[in-house]
Chains A and B, each alone.
Chain A
Amino acid sequence: MRVCADTDEAVAGVEDGATVLVGGFGMAGMPVPLIDALIRHGATDLTVVSNNAGNGDTGLAALLAAGRVRTMICSFPRQSDSWVFDRLYREGRIELEVVPQGNLAERMRAAGAGIGAFFCPTGVGTPLAEGKEVREIDGRTYLLEYPIKGDLALIGAHRADRAGNLVYRRTARNFGPVMATAATTVVAQVSEVVETGEIDPEVVVTPGIYVDRVVRVTT
């Protein structure tokens, strides 16, 4: 675990073609300064996993607009302010995999928990079930779902200590704790870094074992 001096150091080393998990639900919990650093870094041909496909012109939308994303894996790309993604999609310049929101979370949870695949009832009988293995268990139908693992996770938390323990703020928590378990390198931007021991162990949400780099940002 390293506390980085700035966001450029925090995203250093990401390679072209990497799978990047990006936290946030809309703009709540979206690590905009880390995404800006990823844009400056220049890595391209990325697969991005995030609930949405960018809002407005900042954050994930700016990464998409910079042409760095080959594939978007998300639950809800289409929104009133997703004009960047909409244009790229209509021009055939980005691939899209739509995943039900709970499956998106659970597939990353599985990746982080060492689960090879799991049977899930969501999506049975729908177009999103096409090509998936089906199993009857106790009279109910399930689909086989595979993990989603990232090379890099960029998440927004509220406070970190120097051991990498994280706490979040309100509904900005969303995908952060799950993504923190599911990537090779996990980077958290926080509003505050405190000394080790200053976060009550009873309230730690993401234990430091999952976190590789922390950077303080002012928003």
Chain B
Amino acid sequence: MNEHLDRGPRSKDELAADVARDIPHGAFVNLGIGQPTTVADHLPVGSGVVLHTENGMLGMGPLAHGGPHDPIDPDLTNAGKVPVTALPGASYFHHADSFAMMRGGHLDVCVLGAFQVSATGDLANWHTGEPDAIPAVGGAMDLAIGAKQVFVMMTLFAKDGSAKLVPGCTYPLTGVGCVDRVYTDVATFEVGPQGARVLETFGTSYDDLLARLDVPLGR
């Protein structure tokens, strides 16, 4: 375990860059809506990574900005409904095929945001459970159980200071035991059947984390 004590927490950019660094060369990857999308900006040239978007494309390129080489096309969007581009070698397919390749274990990595992750890898990221909230799951449950490896990106603590790495999720679950790794501003964790283990810390120590989290932490 590496404790980086001579610095502060990771910025959003640094976090995205560290996730990108851990994606294997040539992997087929789905990046969830929101912060995970920014991982694409940090994939090195020649990474060979092929991006999947669940609305029916492999080989998704950067966002379209309406220039001569990246025209805005309402028929070409990502899962967040934002116009994107297609890279050479891209392919299109319908929704049942798109989720079959996900559920069938053909995607190598999926990166998702989360409200909470449990030490054993349960994920809560679709619904706050508040009575007046309109539930909307999208592809979150399919993604959570489909990819070979699931990475979560989040802050370790909510705005009210409560920890988001928890013994058991209190928000409604998206998937059970599906998360492999959790990248946060202050630490990276491995989670799973053996519980949580700290891989790296940023501007905080292992002992600080032990004191602030309600879960046993390996190192």
Q: B57 contacts the other chain (Cβ, under 8 Å)?
A: yes
A121 touches which of B93, B98, B103, B127 (Cβ 8 Å)? B103
Shortest beta-carbon distance from A173 to chain B in Å: 5
Q: A105 contacts the other chain (Cβ, under 8 Å)?
A: yes
Q: Which residues of B contact A106 (CB under 8 A)?
A: 96, 99-100
Indicate with 1 or 0, residue by residue over A1-33, a CB within 8 angstroms of chain B CB atoms. Answer: 000000000000000000000000111110000
Q: Which residues of B contact A98 (CB under 8 A)?
A: 135-137
Shortest beta-carbon distance from A194 to chain B in Å: 19
Indicate with 1 or 0, residue by residue over B125-138, a CB within 8 angstroms of chain A CB atoms. Answer: 00100001011111
Q: B36 contacts the other chain (Cβ, under 8 Å)?
A: no
Q: A218 contacts the other chain (Cβ, under 8 Å)?
A: no
Q: B184 contacts the other chain (Cβ, under 8 Å)?
A: no
- Do the beta carbons of B96 and A128 come within 8 Å of each other? no
Q: Given A121-B145, A170-B73, A171-B77, A126–B173 Cβ distance below 8 Å?
A: yes
Question: Which residue of chain B lies nearest to A141 when distances are taken between CB atoms in the complex?
Answer: B176
- Do the beta carbons of B75 and A169 come within 8 Å of each other? yes
Q: Which residues of A contact B140 (CB under 8 A)?
A: 100
Indicate with 1 or 0, residue by residue over A37-68, a CB within 8 angstroms of chain B CB atoms. Answer: 00000000000000100010000000000000
User: Which chain A residues (81-107) contact chain B, with CB distance < 8 Å?
Assistant: 85-86, 89-90, 96, 98-106
- Do the beta carbons of B95 and A174 come within 8 Å of each other? yes
User: How distant is the Cα of A7 from the Cα of B172 in the complex, in angstroms?
Assistant: 43
Stretch with Cβ within 8 A of B (4 or more), from A131-139, A175-183, A209-217: A175-183
A-B contact count (CB 8 A): 142
Question: Which residue of chain A lies nearest to B138 when distances are taken between CB atoms in the complex?
Answer: A76
Q: B108 contacts the other chain (Cβ, under 8 Å)?
A: no
Indicate with 1 or 0, residue by residue over A71-82, a CB within 8 angstroms of chain B CB atoms. Answer: 000011111000
Q: Given A25-B77, A121-B145, A174–B99 Cβ distance below 8 Å?
A: no
Q: A186 contacts the other chain (Cβ, under 8 Å)?
A: no
B-side binding surface: helix, strand, loop or mixed? loop
A100 touches which of B55, B75, B137 (Cβ 8 Å)? B137
User: Which chain B residues (33-47) contact chain A, with CB distance < 8 Å?
Assistant: none
Q: Given A26-B81, A105-B99, A178-B96, A100–B139 Cβ distance below 8 Å?
A: yes
Interface hub of B54, B100, B136 (most chain A Cβ within 10 A): B136
- Do the beta carbons of A173 and B92 come within 8 Å of each other? yes
User: How distant is the Cα of A13 from the Cα of B195 in the complex, in angstroms?
Assistant: 59
Question: Which residue of chain A lies nearest to B60 when distances are taken between CB atoms in the complex?
Answer: A171
Q: Which residues of A contact B127 (CB under 8 A)?
A: 127
Q: B113 contacts the other chain (Cβ, under 8 Å)?
A: no
User: Which chain B residues (190-210) contact chain A, with CB distance < 8 Å?
Assistant: none
Q: Which residues of B contact A176 (CB under 8 A)?
A: 94
Give me the interface of B with A, judged by CB distance under 8 Å: 53-57, 73-77, 81, 86, 92-96, 98-100, 102-103, 122, 127, 132, 134-142, 145-146, 172-176
List 21 A-B residue pairs with CB atoms under 8 Å apart, sorted by A's residue number.
Answer: A26-B81, A28-B75, A51-B95, A78-B134, A96-B134, A100-B139, A101-B99, A102-B99, A102-B146, A103-B142, A123-B141, A126-B141, A170-B57, A170-B75, A170-B76, A171-B53, A173-B93, A173-B94, A175-B94, A177-B94, A205-B94
